Amino acid sequence: MKRKVELKNVKGSYDYNPSEQNIRYFIQDTLRKVFVEYGYKPLETPILCYYDLLAGKYDESNDLLNEIYKLSDQGDRKLGLRYDLTVPFAKYISLTKDIRLPFKRYEIGKVFRDGPVKVGRDREFLQCDVDVVGLDGNLIEAELISLWFKGYDALGIDVYVKYNSRNLMRGLIQEVGGFTSEETIDKVVTIIDKLDKITFEEIVEELGNLGLSNESAEKLLSYFKMDFKGLISEFRDCENEMLCKGLDEVGKLRDILKNIDLEDKTAFSSSLARGQDYYTGNVFEVYAKNGELSCSLGGGGRYDRMITDFIDDGNIYPAVGVSFGLSTIYEILKMREEEKKRSLVDIYVIPMETEVEALKIANEIRGLGLRVELEMSGKKIKKCFEYANRENIPYVIVLGENELEEGKFNVKNMETGEEECVNLVDIENLIKIVQK
């Protein structure tokens, strides 16, 4: 007996029609060119991972663990679908003993998170990461931020970047709250990261639940509202090692960004933490300048301990990376009229009882690097032109017996209605027409 199956997608996963997928390919192809320009190499890691690898050192109450899709194989091994590309990258470096450092990689691949679904946040989505392992210091961080700007500019999206140091945050928490427990400090960092998302009173209440008095909580929050110059002035003579390190990290990155003419496009944000506890130093987030989407379009930061802990051979493996939010980028581009009109085809060839000859000519045109669709369904000429308009195909060629006998044909521009004549012996002239 056949089972009745309800045909629908899992919430947070989607089918993309050819027009939509064309936008997604455009994003990926554009970014790959930028990554190669900056000297980054492609990498692919498995979607399926051992659960213990994904869970790492998180305690069972961590929100991230609740979002991992868990499963088991026939050997009853505990597995999971990767939730990001960073952990599998760390695993790759750990297992590749002959790797030469520094190693710069980019990866575009699917990740999965069993969390709330909203615009720009799905359960199955493509992630795009650019990472470097083996380089310490702030120069590489500035390069990655400049790569961000190059990538978003190539996509036609005007952005700005926020940056901060996790060490600065942790140092301020130690200084004011007197906390010494790593676990408690991380919880306070998570609360501070909500400053732009919930009310001041709610923040104070959450800090109170960790044992901080209202007075201390308000004092702590006042520091997180200061600009960088204010913090430098306030803690100039501070003896808190972590706080001093954080101020130094931010200060050096700030100076480099100024010297490479990115000062006006970037801003220090003392409450920026990023969501993952594996970040160890400076962290960054990128946003659309015109507010097309309010959420971040990407994030990243330094995570020196992850690979170091995985390998555990007594050496330090500094690492830093950034991600491009492909889902949010897609949401922005698909709203733009020019993207809706982006064609999958350059030329539509319509045979008039000349199908075999038309296929030969279509293949010649394809050999020039142009995208060609050959009409094969026998539609009438009027229907063919309607199809070309509906699919936003910019050029149409009609091939009948007369065109073949004369050795030439007309190329019609579907937007202007103008036609240009091309000789079959000079078929390469099509490139000039199409690229006008």
Q: What pLDDT, on a 0 to 100 scale, did the predictor assign at position 398?
A: 97
Tell me, what's the pLDDT at 356?
A: 97
pLDDT of residue 34: 98
Does residue 189 sit within a domain? Answer: yes
- Per-residue pLDDT tens over the stretch 146-201: 999 999 999 999 999 999 999 999 998 888 877 777 878 888 888 888 887 788 88
- Is 249 found in the same domain as 100? yes
Domain match, 39 and 85 both? yes
Of 60 and 249, the structure prediction assigns the larger pLDDT to 249
Give the DSSP H or E segment for 105.
strand 103-112
Q: Are residues 260 and 327 in the same domain?
A: yes
In a domain, 72, yes or no: yes
Q: Look at residue 244 and tell me if it is in a domain.
A: yes
In a domain, 31, yes or no: yes
In a domain, 5, yes or no: no
Q: What is the pLDDT of residue 213?
A: 83
Give the pair of three-digit tokens for residue 30.
């554009």
CA atoms within 13 A on the CB side of 120: 16
Q: What dihedral do alpha carbons 123, 129, 131, 137 form, nearest 10°?
A: -90
- Let me know whether 249 and 393 are in one domain: no
Query: How much is the average pLDDT of 336-357?
Result: 88
Per-residue burial over 11-36, b if 16 or more Cβ lie within 10 Å, else e, is: ebeeeeeebbeebbeebeeebbebbe
- Residues 204 and 281 both lie in one domain: yes
Same domain, 59 and 143: yes
pLDDT at 291 over 80: no
412 pLDDT more than 60:
yes
Burial class (CB in 10 A: 0-12, 13-18, 19+), 238: middle
Residues 362 and 319 in one domain: no
Q: Please check whether residue 172 lies inside any domain of the structure.
A: yes
Q: What is the mean pLDDT of residues 10-22?
A: 91
- Count how many Cα atoms sit within 13 Å of the Cα of residue 3 in the half-sphere of its side chain: 3
Q: Considering the chain, what is the average pLDDT of its residues?
A: 90
List of residues 6+ apart from 204 with CB closer than 8 A = 214, 217, 218, 221
Give me the mean pLDDT over the 215-241 stretch.
89
Q: Would 10 be classed as within a structural domain? A: no
Supply φ then ψ for residue 372, to 5 degrees: -125, 135
Count how many domains the chain has.
Answer: 2
* Cα–Cα distance measured from residue 170 to residue 193, given in angstroms and rounded to the nearest whole number: 12
Report which of residues 403 and 189 the model is more confident about: 403
Indicate the pLDDT class of residue 5, thresholds 50, 70 and 90.
confident
Position 350 pLDDT exceeds 70: yes
Residue 187: predicted pLDDT: 84
Domain boundary residue among 285, 315, 334? Answer: 334
* Share of residues in the chain with pLDDT > 90 (%): 64
Domain stop point among 301, 334, 367: 334
Interval 18-27 mean pLDDT: 92
Q: Does the pLDDT at position 302 exceed 70?
A: yes
| Structural domain span for residue 300 | 18-334
CATH code for position 392? 3.40.50.800
What is the average per-residue pLDDT within 407-430? 94
Do 201 and 80 lie in a common domain?
yes
Q: Are residues 226 and 358 in the same domain?
A: no
Structure tokens at 264: 């006006």
pLDDT at 261 over 80: yes
The structure tokens 């010494």 sit at 180
In a domain, 11, yes or no: no
The pLDDT assigned to 60 comes to 61
Q: Per-residue pLDDT tens for 27-86?
A: 999 999 999 999 999 999 999 999 999 987 565 656 778 899 999 999 999 999 999 898
CATH code at position 131: 3.30.930.10
Whose CA is closest to 352, among 339, 361, 340, 343? 361
The region, left, alpha or beta by phi > 0 then psi within -120 to 50, assigned to residue 240 is beta
Boundary residue ending a domain (308, 334, 360): 334
> What pLDDT does residue 49 have?
95
Q: Residue 280 and residue 410: Cα distance in Å, rounded?
A: 63
Asked if pLDDT for residue 265 goes beyond 70, the answer is yes
CA distance 315 to 131: 19
Q: Is 373 helix (H, G, I), strand (E, B) or coil?
A: strand
Shared domain check, 253 and 377 = no
- Do 53 and 157 lie in one domain? The reply is yes
CA distances from 229 to 119, 218, 232, 285 (A): 36, 20, 5, 21
The confidence score (pLDDT) of residue 62 equals 65
- The answer to whether residues 205 and 305 belong to one domain is yes
The β-bridge partners of 266 are 161
**Per-residue pLDDT tens for 106-139?**
999 999 999 888 766 789 999 999 999 999 999 9
Q: For residue 66, count other CB atoms closer than 10 A to its CB.
A: 11
